[in-house]
A and B are shown apart, each in its own frame.
Chain A
Amino acid sequence: MSTNEQPALLEVRGLTKTFTATPALSEVDFTLYPGEVHAVLGENGAGKSTLIKVITGVYKRDAGTIRLNGKLIEPRSPGHAQELGISAVYQEINLIPTLSVAENLYVGRQPRFLGMVSMQLMNKKARKLLKTFNIDIDVTRDLSSYSIAIQQIVAIVRGVDLSAKILILDEPTSSLDRHEVETLFSVIRSLEEHGIGILLITHFLDQVYEISDRITVLRNGRKVGEHLTKELPRAKLISEMLGREFTETLGKRSNQITNGDSKHDTFLDIKGFAKRGMIEPFDLEIKKGEIVGLAGLLGSGRTEMGHLVFGINRSEKGEAFVESKKVKISSPRKAIRYGFGLCPEDRKVEGLIADLTIRENIILALQAKLGWYRHIPYKRQEQYADEMIEALHIVTTDAEKPVRELSGGNQQKVILARWLVSNPELLILDEPTRGIDIGAHAEIINIIKRLAKEGKALMVISSELAEVVDYSDRVVVLRDRKKLTELTGDEISEDAIMQAIAEK
């Protein structure tokens, strides 16, 4: 445990970094003391990864100072930062799966004996090094034969052994199970005892309270608070992260269809879907004409729930019923056949094919549904595309423009259009309004509401609480990959959602 009287290990002052006009970080201060775990928290786009990338020299900062042990430093590259004593371990483990544990610890600095790389010496040193962290494993085995947790620990030990004073852990526990987290935490605690300062980025709040001594909250590239963990109530933390005060009543609910009554039939009923490492068992029912919002912090399992429902990842247990008929959702193909559609979160990577035209992108899902041998006539394709451009107000000169040339909001509409032409019964939208301008934002929300009125079932994942509160008939609240509760009708408010997330 550290106190403020101790000299700081790392002092970041007034850090600013701007990408193409929008500041990713502005005037951020961050202080790390030796022997403490300092968690940096924030939602998507808060600036967490930019902060660590600047500290590790991946990005050049625009303004501000970084001091290590009181001395100004200028990290130029991850390698240079490492030499200075700042090591980072990322979520995707940056080790070599096909080499032994020992070799991974000593890649690039293999111990030599009489000028020759000596495996024996390397194995001996590796064993000794791991023993200092109470890890006793066969260091000659391939790294890939060990669990992710062990691999992560090997990465950490390597980082620390490279004379690290500061260790940055970026989402170290996101692919670990409970037991593995324990192992990792015991290593982190022993690092604390060695006086190493640890900057931890994670979205698991329980783990933040378990391991961290201090918390810095970032939002939209600004520091909004720094607290001792034990003095910060969860509710306050969450409201800082989301930027909403509990007392404020922001969420205006406009969607009052109230589908509680029986005239709406259940479209999809899921019982006990789950997948290890992704999401704990959950039930989910969606009626026709209903909008179900999924709310939770980043990494709470919102997207994972959508992926399981759409068959991108197969549920390990549980059953699903579409209109009371039992179905097996084993792949997106199957899901599409049952009338599902999914607009993914990252439209560039997962959704659109940038070089194809609007028409081609729109027609893709429908063609897949029909099967590739039943070609849709060109005339019909044009018709579909034009209809959609009109219905969704896609701003373009014509349907033959490559999607790449459209703005973010219009790209999002093209994805929507793709699913709309295939006339799905259930549409899963993952962050449909992320990264689009205000005008398009309102339009997308209107489209969502209209679709529900037309009798479609909608499942909308969003980190914008106000938005979720606005259109949802029901809100499913998630935390740490677990469905916590459901709010219906008048229960829905931003306060209620935040309260639900904060509850122990």
Chain B
Amino acid sequence: MKSRFFPLLVTFLVFSAIYAYCYYHFSSFGSMRVVCNLLRDNAHLGIAAIGMTFVIISGGIDLSVGSVIAFTGVFCALMITREGMDPYLVFAIVLGMGTIFGAVMGVFIYYFKIPAFIATLSGMFLARGMAYVLTTESIRITHPLYIRVSKLVYIFPDKGRFTFAAGAFLAVLVIGIYLAHFTRFGRNVYAIGGNDTAALMMGVPVGRTTIMVYTLSSFLATFAGIVLSLSKRSGDSTITVGAEMDIIAAVVIGGTLLTGGVGYVIGTFIGVLLPGVIRTYLTLEGSLSPWWIKIVVGGLLFGFIAMQKLLSARPKLFSFKRQVRPTTVSTA
């Protein structure tokens, strides 16, 4: 049993147990309707979470994604509805902006040695602020393209509606897995997260990879914003406040170590769906307050972080620590 797979395995078992429990109580969990809704409702979180997975594997964090999603929605609504611009052009512009935004954060993090937490925190305020400055109203989008996309649905025999958002989510998932495991970029991200000085000595382009990681994260957050805008058909600067926290939680529950170097994109997929499953259960159950979702996610997150801590304390797994002599004299 390879220790790398252990957190992923736990994630998978927990998810299976919870899903089985839900299915036992409500047989509709076996239907495509529930599955498709899960994918649709969590598409924007999932897309951004896949970008976040790369960031966390590289040993960093990106707090700006929730704001970037909101900004993207507002920008699209404003440009399409108010300015009457072509949606494709708007998408291209906003994706370009998102890409540059991420790259700039990456440059600050790598070249100016600003902690990722701080750099992306300021990114978070910046993007949110820009969204509010653009407009504080909720703007509807009634462009024909949006209507067309909303009709792009595959309907399963049991009335499960596989929407564009669900498709985009799965497509990004596949691309994410490809990037992580079948490209040098992906492998380098793992190397940097495992030990960045060693990676540098081994000839990994650490700077380029770090910048690309944040660029990818912002790009995917922007894409998530477009997907959300397409399914909500509106732009609103007050949405997805604190979404970065849900996203980070999903990545961690998905078995990615916050210390970097270990994680799987597929785990994040499960980690995103898990709260969704619980939410669906609570809706169907009806009598419990929907806020229980926060408590369950909090508990799960705590459990997973405790597990990570235990794992990293196991001498065999991170035996490098053996070489470090404690130097605690000054605190004595």
Q: Chain A 340-358, CB within 8 Å of chain B: the 1/0 string?
A: 0010100001111100000
B328 near A116 with CB under 8 A, answer no
- Which residues on the B side are within 8 Å of A151 (C-beta)? 319
CB distance from B206 to the nearest CB of A (A): 10
With contacts A117-B184, A312-B326 known, is A99 near B194, CB below 8 A? Answer: yes
Q: Chain B 226-269, CB within 8 Å of chain A: the 1/0 string?
A: 00000000000000000000000000000001001110000000
Interface residues on B, range: 35 or more
User: Is B323 an interface position by the 8 A CB rule?
Assistant: yes
B203 near A82 with CB under 8 A, answer yes
- Which residues on the A side are within 8 Å of B3 (C-beta)? 142, 144-145
**Chain B, 293-332, CB within 8 A of any chain A CB:** 316-320, 322-323, 325-332
A310–B330 alpha-carbon span in the complex (Å): 13
B194 near A96 with CB under 8 A, answer yes
User: Is A313 an interface position by the 8 A CB rule?
Assistant: yes
User: Is B186 an interface position by the 8 A CB rule?
Assistant: yes
With contacts A99-B190, A108-B204 known, is A94 near B322, CB below 8 A? Answer: no
B332 near A94 with CB under 8 A, answer no
User: Is B92 an interface position by the 8 A CB rule?
Assistant: no
A82–B201 alpha-carbon span in the complex (Å): 10
B319's nearest neighbour on chain A, judged by CB, is A144
A266–B191 alpha-carbon span in the complex (Å): 54
- Which residues on the A side are within 8 Å of B327 (C-beta)? 312, 344, 349-350
CB distance from B203 to the nearest CB of A (A): 4
A107 near B199 with CB under 8 A, answer yes
- Which residues on the A side are within 8 Å of B198 (C-beta)? 93-96
With contacts A98-B261, A332-B329 known, is A92 near B323, CB below 8 A? Answer: yes
With contacts A82-B203, A96-B194, A117-B181 known, is A110 near B187, CB below 8 A? Answer: yes
With contacts A96-B190, A142-B2, A175-B322 known, is A107 near B329, CB below 8 A? Answer: no
- Which residues on the B side are within 8 Å of A352 (C-beta)? 330
User: Is A70 an interface position by the 8 A CB rule?
Assistant: no
CB distance from B193 to the nearest CB of A (A): 7
A78, A108, A141, A312: the one contacting B328 at CB < 8 Å is: A312
A97 near B195 with CB under 8 A, answer yes
User: Is B136 an interface position by the 8 A CB rule?
Assistant: no
With contacts A107-B204, A350-B329 known, is A94 near B197, CB below 8 A? Answer: yes
A312 near B187 with CB under 8 A, answer no
A148–B320 alpha-carbon span in the complex (Å): 8
With contacts A95-B195, A107-B187, A307-B325 known, is A145 near B316, CB below 8 A? Answer: yes
A98 near B194 with CB under 8 A, answer yes
- Which residues on the B side are within 8 Å of A82 (C-beta)? 203
Q: Chain B 255-295, CB within 8 Å of chain A: the 1/0 string?
A: 00100111000000000000000000000000000000000
User: Is A500 an interface position by the 8 A CB rule?
Assistant: no
A108 near B4 with CB under 8 A, answer no
- Which residues on the A side are within 8 Å of B112 (C-beta)? none
**Chain A, 86-117, CB within 8 A of any chain B CB:** 91-100, 103, 107-110, 112, 116-117
- Which residues on the A side are within 8 Å of B203 (C-beta)? 79, 82, 107-109
- Which residues on the B side are within 8 Å of A342 (C-beta)? 329, 332
The B contact surface, by secondary structure, is: helix
A103–B184 alpha-carbon span in the complex (Å): 11
User: Is B202 an interface position by the 8 A CB rule?
Assistant: yes
B195's nearest neighbour on chain A, judged by CB, is A96
A346's nearest neighbour on chain B, judged by CB, is B327
- Which residues on the B side are within 8 Å of A103 (C-beta)? 187, 190-191
CB distance from B30 to the nearest CB of A (A): 35
Interface residues on A, range: 35 or more
A147, A310, A332: the one contacting B319 at CB < 8 Å is: A147
With contacts A99-B261, A344-B329, A352-B330 known, is A142 near B199, CB below 8 A? Answer: no
With contacts A117-B183, A117-B187 known, is A141 near B2, CB below 8 A? Answer: yes
Max chain B Cβ within 10 angstroms of own Cβ: one of A78, A82, A96, A351: A96
A414–B330 alpha-carbon span in the complex (Å): 12
CB distance from B208 to the nearest CB of A (A): 12
- Which residues on the A side are within 8 Å of B330 (C-beta)? 350-353, 364
- Which residues on the B side are within 8 Å of A78 (C-beta)? 201
A73–B197 alpha-carbon span in the complex (Å): 25
A175–B323 alpha-carbon span in the complex (Å): 7
- Which residues on the A side are within 8 Å of B11 (C-beta)? none
CB distance from A277 to the nearest CB of B (A): 8
B261 near A96 with CB under 8 A, answer yes
- Which residues on the A side are within 8 Å of B181 (C-beta)? 117, 119
B182 near A116 with CB under 8 A, answer yes
A332–B2 alpha-carbon span in the complex (Å): 37
CB distance from A88 to the nearest CB of B (A): 9
A117 near B329 with CB under 8 A, answer no
**Chain B, 115-162, CB within 8 A of any chain A CB:** none
Q: Chain B 154-190, CB within 8 Å of chain A: the 1/0 string?
A: 0000000000000000000000001001111011101
With contacts A117-B183, A117-B184, A144-B320 known, is A98 near B202, CB below 8 A? Answer: no
A90–B169 alpha-carbon span in the complex (Å): 45
User: Is A501 an interface position by the 8 A CB rule?
Assistant: no
CB distance from B56 to the nearest CB of A (A): 13
Give the 10 A-B CB pairs with smallest separation, nearest first. Answer: A98-B261, A96-B194, A98-B194, A332-B332, A94-B198, A108-B203, A116-B182, A94-B201, A350-B327, A107-B202
Query: Would you give 17 A-B contacts (Cβ < 8 Å), ordered by A?
Result: A79-B203, A82-B203, A92-B323, A96-B191, A98-B190, A99-B190, A99-B194, A99-B261, A107-B203, A108-B199, A108-B202, A117-B186, A140-B2, A144-B317, A313-B325, A332-B328, A332-B329
User: What is B's interface to A at a CB cutoff of 8 Å?
Assistant: 2-4, 178, 181-184, 186-188, 190-191, 193-195, 197-199, 201-204, 257, 260-262, 316-320, 322-323, 325-332
A-B contacts besides A93-B323, A107-B187, A351-B329, 15 pairs, CB < 8 Å: A94-B197, A96-B261, A97-B318, A98-B257, A99-B190, A99-B261, A100-B2, A107-B188, A108-B184, A108-B203, A144-B3, A145-B317, A335-B332, A336-B332, A344-B329
